[in-house]
């Protein structure tokens, strides 16, 4: 079993690439979402691979020896000596159960994250969008009790006495140090589930795909994060929050600079010299703009109030038309156009020297794709 093949990544993949691939595959094969034969086994293998490749030391050992540390050795366990539960790895990344590690009262559900790509129009209007998320929600079969309805009730853990933690002593150069660790028997829960729920497998929550409405602030830009309270994972102490990371969908003709929009209008030499009309693609539709005679390369024309609302503060940005003068290549000039340019040069006293194309010039054009 090749861990890299299981996660569909190369052997040189970065930690972020491994994590991203794992998230997609874990959601695809999660038992709550995929009921096909073999999905649960594939889910376990994917989590085993991630447990090794996400740990730098374990990954280095695997790359060198082709196995996880301790695998195949008498009593060896590459997963810390407590057994390997694929749901543990999944919930560490997507949000843990919260109750492990000590009895400190009901734990709040974990926060989750999502991404949303929006358009300039949606940002300007401050629309409400829908975001698809995968949340851990209370199991509808056992209602979060983790026990199969009608089954035997949970019993107090005999190892920790229901505390959820055990004390251990370690001898160091500073003397004997006492530490507290999650109970290895009940794994920090303080009780043992005798008849686990057949739907959530004794975890009290299941993974559920939901669509969440998210209200966009008017003028929001890429890189901002919106908090949606209570739409994270559910927990006995309350729900976590959802954080939506905003990305902007590129506009085919406009580019954004804060609250302003920029459009590059390309003019021919004659248009810039004599004046013309150009069509500008505003967010409200095409608009005709007059180009003044004598317009220079880099000149700007401002359409006030046709940008985006200022995200922090009052007012609206502008749409700025940036003029770019196009000089035609010799190959683009017809004989008539070339003669007209020579006539113009003579009229204004410009000296020109037209380079005649030779063999090597033609070869150069071929290599340049002209």
pLDDT, tens only, 176-196: 777 788 888 887 888 899 999
Question: CA–CA separation, 144 vs 200, rounded Å?
Answer: 9
Q: Rg of the chain over CA atoms, in angstroms?
A: 33
Mean pLDDT of 329-349: 80
Q: Of 302 and 29, which is predicted with more confidence?
A: 302
Query: What is the per-residue pLDDT for 121?
Result: 95
Query: What is the per-residue pLDDT for 356?
Result: 60
Hey, which bits of the chain come out as E strands? 112-118, 128-138, 155-156, 165-172, 175-182, 191-192, 205-215, 225-228, 242-248, 255-257, 260-268, 276-282, 285-291, 300-303, 319-326
Query: What is the per-residue pLDDT for 172?
Result: 65
pLDDT of 105 > 60? The answer is: no
Establish whether 231 is an annotated binding residue.
Answer: no
Q: Of 275 and 370, which is predicted with more confidence?
A: 275
Query: What is the per-residue pLDDT for 257?
Result: 94
pLDDT of 207 > 70? The answer is: yes
Query: What is the per-residue pLDDT for 92?
Result: 59
Reported as a pLDDT band with limits 50, 70 and 90, residue 97 is very low
Question: CA–CA separation, 204 vs 189, rounded Å?
Answer: 12
Mean pLDDT of 296-300: 92
Q: What is the pLDDT of residues 25-68, one digit of tens each?
A: 888 888 777 778 888 888 888 888 888 898 888 888 888 877 76
- DSSP conformational letter for 240: -
Query: What is the per-residue pLDDT for 173?
Result: 63
Reported as a pLDDT band with limits 50, 70 and 90, residue 107 is confident
Q: What is the pLDDT of residues 128-165, one digit of tens each?
A: 999 999 899 999 999 988 999 999 999 999 999 888 88
Q: Of 271 and 313, which is predicted with more confidence?
A: 271
Establish whether 148 is an annotated binding residue.
Answer: no
Establish whether 183 is an annotated binding residue.
Answer: yes
Residue 115, strand partner residues: 245
Backbone angles phi, psi at 47, to 5 degrees: -70, -35
Query: What is the per-residue pLDDT for 89?
Result: 63
pLDDT of 281 > 60? The answer is: yes
Query: What is the per-residue pLDDT for 355?
Result: 61
Establish whether 168 is an annotated binding residue.
Answer: no
Question: CA–CA separation, 300 vs 265, rounded Å?
Answer: 10
Query: What is the per-residue pLDDT for 32?
Result: 74
Mean pLDDT is lowest, of 100-109, 118-127, 346-355, for 100-109
pLDDT of 325 > 60? The answer is: yes
Residue 321: helix, strand or coil by DSSP? strand
Mean pLDDT of 290-319: 92
Q: What percent of the chain has pLDDT over 90?
A: 41
Backbone angles phi, psi at 351, to 5 degrees: -90, 130
């Amino acid at each position: 079993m090749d861990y890299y093949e299981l996660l569909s990544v190369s052997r040189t993949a970065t930690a972020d690439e491994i994590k991203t691939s794992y998230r997609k595959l874990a959601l695809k094969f999660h038992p709550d979402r995929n009921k096909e034969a073999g999905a649960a086994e594939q889910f376990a293998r994917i989590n085993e691979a991630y447990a090794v490749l996400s740990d730098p030391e374990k990954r280095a050992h695997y790359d060198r020896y082709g196995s996880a540390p301790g695998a195949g050795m008498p009593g060896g366990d590459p997963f810390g000596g407590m057994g390997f539960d694929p749901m543990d790895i999944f919930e560490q990344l997507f949000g843990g159960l919260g109750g492990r590690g000590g009895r400190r009262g009901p734990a709040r559900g974990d926060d989750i994250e999502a991404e949303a790509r929006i358009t300039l129009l949606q940002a300007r209007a401050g629309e409400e969008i829908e975001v698809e998320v995968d949340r851990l929600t209370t199991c509808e079969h056992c209602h979060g009790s983790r026990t199969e309805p009608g089954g035997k009730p949970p019993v107090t853990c005999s190892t920790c006495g229901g505390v959820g933690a055990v004390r251990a002593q370690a001898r160091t150069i500073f003397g004997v140090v006492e530490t507290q660790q999650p109970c290895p028997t009940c794994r920090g829960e303080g009780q043992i589930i005798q008849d686990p729920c057949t739907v959530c497998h004794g975890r009290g929550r299941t993974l559920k795909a939901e669509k969440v409405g998210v209200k966009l602030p008017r003028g929001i830009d890429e890189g901002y994060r919106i908090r949606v309270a209570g739409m994270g994972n559910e927990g006995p102490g309350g729900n976590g929050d959802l954080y939506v990371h905003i990305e902007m969908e590129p506009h085919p003709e406009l580019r954004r600079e804060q609250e302003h929009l920029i459009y590059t209008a390309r003019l021919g030499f004659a248009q810039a010299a004599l004046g013309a009309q150009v069509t500008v693609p505003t967010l409200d539709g095409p608009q005709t703009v007059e180009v003044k005679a004598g317009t220079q390369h880099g000149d700007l024309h401002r359409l006030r109030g046709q940008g985006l609302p200022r995200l922090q503060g009052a007012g609206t940005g502008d749409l700025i038309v940036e003029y770019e003068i196009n000089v035609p290549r010799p190959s683009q000039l017809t004989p008539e156009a070339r003669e007209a340019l020579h006539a113009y040069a003579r009229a204004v006293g410009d000296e020109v020297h037209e380079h005649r194309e030779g063999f090597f010039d033609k070869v150069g054009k071929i290599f340049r794709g002209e």
